[in-house]
Amino acid sequence: MALHCTALSFFTTSVSSNPRASTSPHWFGGPTSFRGKCSLKSSPSSSPPSPRFMFQGEALGSGNGALDRDESSLVVCFGEMLIDFVPTTSGLSLAEAPAFKKAPGGAPANVAVGIARLGGASAFIGKVGEDEFGYMLADILKENNVNNEGMRFDTGARTALAFVTLRKDGEREFMFYRNPSADMLLQESELDLELIKKAKIFHYGSISLITEPCKSAHIAAAKAAKEAGVILSYDPNLRLPLWPSAESARQGILSIWDTADIIKISEEEICFLTNGEDPFDDNVVRKLYHENLKLLLVTEGPEGCRYYT
């Protein structure tokens, strides 16, 4: 049987700590704003769904008003927050774009905001510049009910900028301004360890592993979370232009792979990490499943995602 669901509420998901869980795939998809329940549908070619996963509750609205939040399910997101500049006309390359509009960005910060909009408790830890963009980003987190007490402001570096477009051929194009940007300069001594230790889930990416001192801060934060019994959630979020080389990206992403309890990965990233193997082949995906992993999510864009336990 295959598990089909209109959406998944991450902050109400219960994950088994059984390291011997099977790595058979399960499928679900749908929008991030939802009111739906899971259903089981017969599929003779797939394995039975694992009962260890509990999909429950319904999403809340995305208004800016204060919501009652269960701090015992706090998700602390660590990493970069920046300003994305997006062309005002879609389908053009960056060079062809007549103008750009600014928008808050950064994958870990996006996760924090998404969780808060679904009614969960979330916090963000990272560094921005002591500039207008940095203050704007801190205010946006606050307006979206995200705890921003772990944010730090750098007086000597600017908030990171990224120019992003989706061309007509479907390819994304990025241009980053980080030479260095404030997020790269977060130091271990600036970490809010108490906030990290009271989290239920500590979520992070790989961009914070590229340069020092942020790399050491990242490793120290994850170590503190692990020692406190916090679930570690990892989204590699591959951005090749930011790494010195493809091989350094591959090594950097995999350097912390085996410490994560939950990993979310895209088909593109599977192909990259396995040196071009088929991301739709379950045997290929299982190569990335380590013995301490509780949940491996493979995202498939508008088709939803599949997961392995």
pLDDT band at 8 (very low <50, low <70, confident <90, very high): very low
Mapping DSSP onto H, E and C, the string for 51-117 reads: CCCCCCCCCCCCCCCCCCCCHHHCEEEECCCEEEEEECCCECCCCCCCCEEEEEECHHHHHHHHHHH
Checking if the pLDDT of 185 tops 50, the result is yes
Quickly state the pLDDT bin for 28 (edges 50, 70, 90): very low
SS3 268: helix
Q: Determine the pLDDT at residue 79.
A: 98
Instruction: Measure Cα distances from 109 to 33, 104, 132, 153, 228 in Å.
Output: 18, 9, 18, 15, 22
Which pLDDT score, from 0 to 100, does residue 302 have? 86
Q: Comparing 2-16, 136-150, 241-255, which segment has the lowest mean pLDDT?
A: 2-16
* pLDDT mean over 62-68: 40
Percentage of the chain beyond pLDDT 90 is 71
Where do the domains of the chain lie?
71-260
pLDDT at 7: 40
pLDDT confidence of residue 6: 33
Higher pLDDT, 74 or 66: 74
| pLDDT the model gives residue 24 | 47
Q: Which range, of 89-93, 156-160, 221-225, averages the lowest pLDDT?
A: 89-93
User: How do beta strands 172-177 and 161-166 pair?
Assistant: antiparallel
Sign for the CA dihedral angle at 54, 263, 289, 170 comes to: positive
> What SS3 class is residue 298?
strand
Q: What's the rounded Cα separation, in Å, for the pair 126 and 98?
A: 32
Question: Nearest 5 degrees, angle CA 155-CA 158-CA 163?
Answer: 170
Q: How far, in Å, CA of 228 to CA of 180, rounded?
A: 32
Sign of CA dihedral 79, 84, 90, 95: negative
Instruction: Give the three-class secondary structure for 200.
Output: coil
pLDDT in tens, 99-134: 999 999 999 999 999 999 999 999 999 999 999 999
The Cβ of residue 113 has, within 10 Å, a number of other Cβ atoms equal to 22
Share of the chain above pLDDT 70, in %: 77
Average per-residue pLDDT in the chain? 82
Q: pLDDT tens digits for 154-175? A: 999 999 999 999 888 777 889 9
CATH code 3.40.1190.20 for 71-260: yes
Residue 257 has pLDDT above 90, yes or no: yes
Give the per-residue pLDDT at 2.
Answer: 27
Average pLDDT of span 215-241: 97
Distances (CA, A) of 168 to 91, 173, 185, 222, 268: 4, 11, 36, 39, 19
Structure confidence at residue 68 (pLDDT)? 56
The whole-angstrom separation of Cα 126 and Cα 190 is 9
